């Protein structure tokens, strides 16, 4: 890819409403950013609101951040919407989250009209309601020919679950003599992850003050950079994102080399 000065200048011009003290190099953006959308419950509690109100505000923050990422030229974002462990939450909260996901997927066509965004869902969707499974298929179909930002929504997703799923598939292929044990390597494992064909995340952002990965993209985050902040996800905005990218651009990534 050549350096397209005109395109980049245009992009920076378009950012005039999001002026920032963070000087970014728009030619060296992280290609793939993962977001752990944490802190919705605490955001709501602070306002004396139910947790579901926090998740609703979180879904709004996601809409804003997706659009902003697309605008500045981020190619892929992966967001943690519902983990394999989130089923342990009170039934009322699980229901509210599933309702929001269903609404988001249902609105995707109208909401994303003209936005050129590709939506994919990662995780084990087979245990979700028939309605949501249909909406996932439909949303993926509707957006598959778009050429802009790829939004991966992790639903009923767990990093360990994903690795187990990959190992089982590979074991079956070995059993059927389609591959040899010696063929199992990094690349083959990656090809059996939900994220097959997608670059590993360059940067993983977790707001809310927690400093952990919580089973998010375990395989893919081997060499990701991390950015944590004491902001609740519903308050996460473009300025925070620019700060995270600015920090990211100051780091030296060695991938185990020197």
Which is catalytic among the residues 40, 86, 146, 202? Answer: 86
Catalytic residue among 38, 70, 161, 200: 38
Instruction: Give the CB-nearest residue to ligand FPP.
Output: 41
Nearer to ligand FPP, 151 or 193 (CB): 151
Minimum distance of ligand FPP from residue 31's CB (angstroms): 21
Q: Which is nearer to ligand FPP, 156 or 220 (CB)?
A: 156
Q: How far apart are CA 186 and CA 98, in angstroms?
A: 34
* Residue 245: closest CA among 65, 90, 82, 85: 65
**Residue 120: closest CA among 130, 108, 111:** 108
Q: Are 139 and 119 in contact (CB under 8 A)?
A: yes
By CB under 6 A, the count of residues binding ligand FPP is 18
- Residue closer to ligand FPP by CB (options 62, 72) is 62
Could you give the CA distance from residue 54 to residue 1 in angstroms, rounded to a whole number? 41
Contact assessment for residue 218 and residue 160, using Cβ atoms and an 8 Å cutoff: yes
Q: Is 240 in the site for ligand FPP (CB under 6 A)?
A: no
CA dihedral sign, ordered 192, 193, 195, 201: negative
Is position 38 annotated as part of the catalytic site?
yes
Distance between CA atoms of 126 and 132, rounded to whole angstroms?
A: 10
Query: Per CB under 6 A, which region of 4-12, 33-41, 68-76, 189-197 contacts ligand FPP?
Result: 33-41
Closer residue to ligand FPP (CB): 121 or 166: 121
Binding to ligand FPP (CB under 6 A) within 197-216 occurs at: 208
Query: If you count them, how many residues does the chain have?
Result: 258
Sketch the per residue contact string, 64 through 103, with ligand FPP: x for CB under 6 A, - otherwise.
-----------------x----x----------x--xx--
190-225 exposure pattern, b = at least 16 Cβ within 10 A, e = fewer: bebbbbeebebbbbbbbbbeeeebebbbbbbbeebb
Query: In whole angstroms, how close is the CB of 134 to ligand FPP at the nearest point?
Result: 17
What is the closest distance, in whole angstroms, from the C-beta atom of residue 39 to ligand FPP in the complex? 4
Q: Active-site residues: which are they?
A: 38, 86
User: Which positions touch ligand FPP (CB under 6 A)?
Assistant: 37-42, 55, 58-59, 62, 81, 86, 97, 100-101, 104, 153, 208
């Amino acid at each position: 890819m050549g350096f397209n000065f005109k395109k980049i200048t245009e992009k920076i011009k378009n950012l005039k409403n999001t002026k920032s003290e963070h000087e970014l190099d728009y030619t060296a953006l992280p290609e793939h950013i993962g977001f752990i959308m944490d802190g919705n419950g605490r955001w709501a509690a602070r306002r004396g609101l139910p947790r579901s109100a926090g998740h609703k505000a979180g879904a709004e923050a996601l809409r804003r951040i997706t659009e902003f990422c697309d605008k500045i030229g981020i190619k892929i974002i992966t967001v943690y919407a519902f983990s394999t462990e989130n089923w342990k939450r009170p039934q009322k909260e699980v229901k509210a989250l599933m309702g929001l996901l269903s609404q988001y997927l249902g609105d995707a066509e109208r909401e994303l009209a003209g936005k050129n965004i590709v939506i994919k869902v990662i995780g084990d969707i087979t245990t979700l309601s028939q309605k949501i499974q249909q909406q996932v298929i439909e949303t993926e179909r509707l957006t598959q020919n778009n050429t802009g930002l790829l939004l991966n929504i992790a639903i009923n997703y767990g990093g360990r679950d994903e690795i187990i799923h990959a190992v089982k598939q590979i074991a079956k292929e070995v059993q059927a003599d389609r591959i040899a044990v010696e063929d199992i390597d990094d690349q083959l494992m990656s090809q059996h992850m939900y994220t097959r064909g997608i670059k590993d995340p360059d940067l993983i952002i977790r707001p809310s003050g927690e400093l952990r990965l919580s089973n998010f993209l375990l395989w893919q985050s081997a060499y990701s950079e991390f950015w944590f902040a004491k902001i609740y996800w519903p308050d996460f905005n473009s300025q925070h994102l620019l700060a995270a990218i600015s920090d990211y651009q100051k780091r030296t990534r060695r991938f185990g080399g020197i």
